[in-house]
């Protein structure tokens, strides 16, 4: 895998800037965490070399002085919003996040349910949390938010929200995903802390968009594709341009909320320490890219991956056509089309020749390997076998798993487990390969090549099942699928 990002440099300079920001405000700082604190797979995909737990590794140094507040929107609870990378709903992810933070030595103080307007599902979730001993607070929908500053900055606005009890000087505010209302929670707390005689500060730790990269840089376009369902738009920060005469990139929600923050700070301190939304952030990612070409290529692949994810969700009735169309428009900004992703073209060409579902993978050295559905194997299972054989230097004609071993597995699937599909999935093939590797040298060599699939790109001409999705994810493979369902015999 080619790397374009210096993670060690990032850990050093990013942690230095966060410490400086904490020192700026003294006794109480609300640090809004944009994106994922750990398992930030989007960042690791568009910035090859970025480690998914980099943020956590930095903040762990401050764990004795910090506590976590997890935010979830009642609107997301109501519609059972799912984290696509993990396949779990946001409310379930709140519990997962709490458990992960606690396992890493962090204090998780509470959960805040935002956008509350009497939703019964949100009330049920709060009762569940409180039965578990987790303090839970409501923050309400405010009419005209974020433009109606007079109402927001009043007893009928932020003053109506529950005051979140915190005990440590650094409060890290995070959420399962974007659009949860993290910034509003921070601003509400500034308002309510001030009422109690406590002067608190605010800062934002967010990776994307990267303020120091151009507006149409593929890394920033990939972020817009990742948030297409939220209608986020990257913009030149007008406040930063006016204050400093320099171009910086931010996104619409931060720019829209800045007048509110400005008003709050003026009410609390008499002046705003920040001249722009970009000033609020502590993001040094752009200064740690050491191979722009690698990051551009990875980001273009991510835009296409997001497009196919949206297509699949639309085909399954889980999203609207607007999300698909928005990402399609981003293709023009990035100057790409789906053919830029080489496995797509290869898989489609083989499918046209064979008339059956096919798949293709691009290996680290640029080699394209393809596979097709057979009576014994699905396209994903066949592809993994073909890829590891190539990497191990095993002739393609060699059958790693003999038919007399596959057939008993198929018999169990059909006759005992009542499956309709006799073909072996990726997990079944890998188990069989593992069993054979104890006495078959080729199988052992092939199995040892699995780590080399990390970072490779795969395309399937049919939508894959949950099992295959999970296997490719565990292997670290970037996957796209045509929005076509398999035809059942």
- CA separation (Å) from 328 to 24, 306, 339, 344, 438? 43, 10, 13, 16, 48
**For residue 141, what pLDDT is reported?**
95
pLDDT digits (tens, 9 = 90+) for 203-229: 998 889 999 999 999 999 999 999 998
Mean pLDDT throughout 143-169? 90
pLDDT top residue among 60 and 390: 390
- pLDDT for residue 415 is more than 70: yes
Which tens digits make up the pLDDT trace of 80-127? 998 877 789 999 999 999 999 999 899 999 999 999 999 999 999 999
Is the Cα torsion angle 407, 408, 413, 414 positive or negative in sign? positive
Mean pLDDT, the chain, whole residue set:
92
Q: What pLDDT was estimated at residue 199?
A: 83
Mean pLDDT of 371-375: 94
Residue 35: is its pLDDT beyond 80? no
pLDDT tens digit sequence for 45-87 = 999 999 988 888 888 888 888 999 999 999 999 999 988 777 8
Please report the domains of the chain, with CATH numbers, ordered by start residue.
Answer: 7-290 (3.10.630.10), 341-481 (3.40.140.40)
Give the C-alpha separation, 412 to 439, whole Å: 24
With 0-12 CB in 10 A as exposed, 13-18 as middle and 19+ as buried, what is 487? exposed
Tell me the CA distances in angstroms from 19 to 13, 65, 195, 253, 314, one per residue in order.
10, 12, 27, 26, 43
Question: Does the pLDDT of residue 487 top 60, yes or no?
Answer: no
Whether residue 246 is predicted with pLDDT greater than 60 in this model: the reply is yes
Average pLDDT estimate for 225-253: 93
Q: What single string gives the DSSP state of each residue in 33-58?
A: E-S-SS--HHHHHHSTT--TTHHHHH
pLDDT at 171 exceeding the cut of 70: yes
pLDDT at position 158: 93
Structure tokens at 144: 């005209």
Span 132-154, pLDDT tens digits: 999 999 999 999 888 788 888 89
Q: pLDDT value at position 489?
A: 44
Does the pLDDT value for residue 250 go beyond 60? yes
Please, are residues 358 and 351 in contact by the beta-carbon 8 Å criterion?
yes
Q: Quick one: CA dihedral 176, 39, 464, 426, positive or negative?
A: negative
pLDDT tens, position by position, 282-331: 899 999 999 999 999 999 999 999 999 999 999 988 888 889 999 999 99
* pLDDT value, residue 458: 97
The answer, yes or no, to whether residue 39 has pLDDT greater than 70, is: yes
Residue, of 41 and 348, whose pLDDT is higher: 348
Examine the pLDDT at 488 and tell me if it is beyond 70. no
Please report the pLDDT score of residue 48 as a whole number.
94
CA distance 19 to 408: 60
For the stretch 228-232, contacts whose Cβ atoms lie closer than 8 Å and that sit 24 or more positions apart, written own/partner, are 228/306, 228/310, 228/323, 228/326, 228/327, 228/330, 229/310, 229/319, 229/323, 230/178, 230/179, 231/326, 232/178
């Amino acid at each position: 895998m080619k790397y374009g990002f210096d993670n060690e440099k990032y850990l050093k300079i990013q942690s230095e800037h966060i410490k400086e920001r904490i020192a700026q405000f003294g006794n109480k700082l609300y640090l809004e965490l944009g994106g994922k604190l750990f398992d930030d797979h989007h960042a690791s995909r568009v910035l090859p070399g970025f480690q998914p737990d980099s943020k956590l590794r930095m903040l762990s140094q401050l764990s004795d002085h910090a506590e976590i507040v997890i935010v979830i929107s009642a609107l997301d609870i109501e519609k059972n919003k799912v984290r696509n990378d993990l396949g779990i709903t946001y409310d379930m992810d709140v519990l997962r996040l709490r458990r992960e933070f606690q396992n890493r030595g962090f204090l998780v103080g509470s959960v805040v349910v935002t956008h509350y307007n009497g939703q019964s599902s949100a009330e049920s979730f709060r009762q569940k949390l409180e039965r578990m001993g987790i303090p839970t607070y409501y923050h309400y929908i405010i009419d005209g938010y974020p433009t109606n500053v007079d109402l927001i900055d009043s007893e009928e606005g932020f003053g109506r929200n529950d005051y979140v009890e915190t005990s440590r000087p650094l409060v890290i505010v995070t959420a399962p995903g974007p659009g949860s209302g993290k910034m509003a929670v921070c601003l509400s707390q500034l308002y309510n802390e001030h009422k109690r005689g406590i002067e608190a500060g605010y800062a934002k730790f967010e990776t994307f968009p990267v303020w120091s990269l151009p507006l149409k840089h593929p890394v920033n376009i990939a972020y817009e594709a990742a948030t297409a369902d939220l209608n986020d738009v990257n913009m030149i920060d007008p406040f930063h341009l006016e204050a400093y005469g320099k171009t910086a990139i931010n996104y619409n929600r931060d720019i829209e909320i800045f007048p509110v923050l400005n008003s709050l700070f003026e009410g609390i301190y008499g002046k705003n320490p920040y001249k722009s939304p970009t000033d609020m952030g502590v993001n040094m990612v752009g200064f740690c890219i050491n191979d722009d070409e690698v990051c551009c290529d990875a980001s273009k692949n991510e835009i296409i991956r997001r497009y196919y994810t949206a297509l699949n969700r639309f085909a399954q009735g889980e999203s609207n056509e607007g999300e698909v169309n928005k990402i399609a428009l981003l293709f023009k900004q990035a100057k790409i089309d789906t053919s830029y992703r080489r496995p797509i073209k290869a898989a489609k060409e083989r499918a046209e020749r064979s008339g059956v579902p096919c798949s293709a993978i691009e290996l680290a050295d640029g080699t394209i390997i393809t596979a097709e559905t057979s009576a014994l194997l699905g396209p994903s299972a066949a592809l993994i076998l073909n890829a590891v054989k190539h990497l191990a230097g095993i002739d393609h004609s060699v059958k790693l798993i003999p038919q007399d071993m596959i057939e008993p597995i198929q018999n169990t699937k059909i006759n005992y487990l009542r499956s309709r599909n006799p073909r072996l999935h990726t997990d079944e093939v890998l188990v069989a390969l593992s069993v054979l590797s104890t006495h078959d040298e080729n199988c052992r060599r092939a199995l040892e090549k699995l780590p080399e699939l990390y970072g490779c790109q795969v395309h399937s001409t049919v939508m894959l099942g949950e099992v295959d999705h999970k296997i490719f994810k565990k292997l670290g493979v970037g996957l796209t699928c045509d929005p076509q369902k398999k035809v059942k015999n």
